[in-house]
Structure formats: structure tokens, C-alpha cells
């Protein structure tokens, strides 16, 4: 039995000083065989291997994150699921525009890797998004949106959002709504284009009121 894995390998001395983060690690795709002494793996063999790999992966990810914080304390990374074409490695500033320049500089230095797709900023997933934050479970299909102009900056806009929740100034609800918008349109777009949003309670005839 073979398990397709992606892992980080041991640190080595960086050769190029203008890429301090990427050159601290070697990224590789590798086949690893596991099995019992007779060459046939058991379910227990697989479970032990997977648990060991999970623990090893968490330790290495923690180490990588610490090194990334030394480059810029506002950056972090997200590892996507393993697919037929590899994994996606997303560099993110978690929506904090103060660190966008650091992120862009790091992304522009990124090497071309066979089994990794390095992406700058969390990407938008489109109009159909579900999210849970605290006690709130939001589904974009159950929400209505209407763009609003920003009189102070024509390059930015606001949103009036109607949802089937008690539209009060609840901090968890505000975070949940912002996170949902970010997932819909992407981290960079949400932080640079959206200047504010206003929540209202869902009512009848939303489309006639200009909502979509």
C-alpha cells in the first residue's frame, strides 16, 4: 500500500539571502511505502503511520509559521487539501492591510514548485458560501445584498445586507458577516474595496427594494 504525501524536509543553510523564507525549506513530493514485515500493511499499520505523519506535520507547520512571523509578524499560511495536481499554499495577512506589502513582496519572491501552488491572499469562493462563527451559522443563499456608494472614496463601496438574524450590533455577528463576505470575494478585495457594511433584518420584497 502506498500513501501519497507532501511534507517539509529538514532545514538547510539558505543559499540566496534575498529569499529568507523560501530558502529555509525544501519542498518535495515523495512516495513512501509502509507495511508489515511480510510486505502487506495492516489497517493498524496505516493508522499508526497516519497519526505519526499528522503529529510530524503539525510540528513542522508550527516551525514554518514561527519562521514566517520572523519575516513579518502579520503573515501566516494555509495549506490546502491534497489534490491530483498537488496542494495550494496560501499566504495570508488575515485581512490586515498593514501587512499587505510584506505579503506581496514575499509572494513575488516565491519559487516555482512542482507540487505546490503558491497563492497570495485567501481567494474568493463565489456567491455560495456557508460559514459558522460563534453561535451564528450563515448561508449567503439566505442573505440579500445591496451596494452602497462611499461619498468619501469612489474606489470603495459599502454594502447593506439583509439577513434572517437579529440585526443588532453583536460583535460575533459582525465578524461572521465580514468573514462570509471575505470568503465570497477574497481577502484582498474585501479589505481594499469594502469600506463598511450595514445589517438589516430580512423583510418581504427585498428584490423590489434593490437587493440582490
pLDDT tens digits along 105-132:
999 988 887 788 889 999 999 999 999 9
CA distance 188 to 97: 8
Mean pLDDT of the chain: 76
Instruction: Give yes or no for a contact between 99 and 91, defined as CB atoms under 8 angstroms apart.
Output: no
Q: What is the pLDDT of residues 136-189, one digit of tens each?
A: 899 999 899 988 877 776 777 888 898 876 656 688 889 999 999 999 999 999
Q: What is the pTM of this model?
A: 0.72
Quote the strand ranges of 53-189, DSSP E: 76-79, 87-92, 116-120, 130-133, 136-139, 144-149, 157-163
Q: How does residue 104 score in pLDDT terms, banded at 50, 70 and 90?
A: very high
Of residues 13 and 52, which shows the higher confidence score? 52
Rounded percentage of the chain residues whose pLDDT exceeds 90: 27
Percent of the chain with pLDDT over 70: 73
- Does residue 57 carry a pLDDT above 80? no
Residue 95 reports pLDDT greater than 90:
yes
More confident of the two residues 117 and 55? 117
Give backbone dihedrals phi and psi of 74, rounded to 5 degrees, phi first.
-95, 0
Give me the long-range contacts of 104-110 (CB less than 8 A, separation at least 24): 106/21, 106/71, 106/72, 106/75, 109/18, 109/19, 109/22, 110/22
Q: Tell me the pLDDT band of 36, cut-offs 50, 70 and 90.
A: very low
How much is the pLDDT for 1?
A: 26
Provide the pLDDT for residue 186: 96
Amino acid at each position: 500500500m502506498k500513501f501519497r504525501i507532501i511534507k517539509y524536509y529538514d532545514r538547510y543553510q539558505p543559499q540566496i539571502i534575498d529569499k529568507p523564507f523560501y530558502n529555509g525549506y525544501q519542498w518535495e513530493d515523495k512516495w513512501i511505502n509502509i507495511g508489515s514485515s511480510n510486505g502487506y500493511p495492516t489497517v493498524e499499520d496505516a493508522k499508526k503511520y497516519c497519526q505519526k505523519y499528522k503529529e510530524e506535520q503539525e510540528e513542522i507547520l508550527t516551525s514554518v509559521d514561527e519562521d514566517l512571523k520572523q519575516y513579518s509578524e502579520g503573515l501566516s499560511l494555509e495549506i490546502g487539501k491534497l489534490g491530483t495536481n498537488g496542494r495550494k499554499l496560501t499566504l495570508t495577512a488575515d485581512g490586515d492591510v498593514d501587512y499587505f506589502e510584506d505579503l506581496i513582496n514575499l509572494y513575488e519572491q516565491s519559487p516555482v514548485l512542482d507540487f505546490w501552488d503558491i497563492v497570495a491572499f485567501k481567494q474568493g469562493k463565489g456567491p455560495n458560501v456557508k460559514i459558522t462563527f460563534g453561535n451564528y451559522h450563515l448561508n449567503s443563499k439566505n442573505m440579500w445584498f445591496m451596494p452602497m456608494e462611499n461619498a468619501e472614496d469612489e474606489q470603495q463601496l459599502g454594502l447593506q445586507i439583509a439577513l434572517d438574524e437579529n440585526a443588532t450590533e453583536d460583535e460575533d455577528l459582525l465578524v461572521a458577516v465580514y468573514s462570509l463576505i471575505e470568503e465570497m470575494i477574497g481577502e484582498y478585495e474585501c479589505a481594499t474595496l469594502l469600506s463598511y457594511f450595514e445589517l438589516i433584518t430580512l423583510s418581504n420584497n427585498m428584490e423590489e427594494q434593490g437587493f440582490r
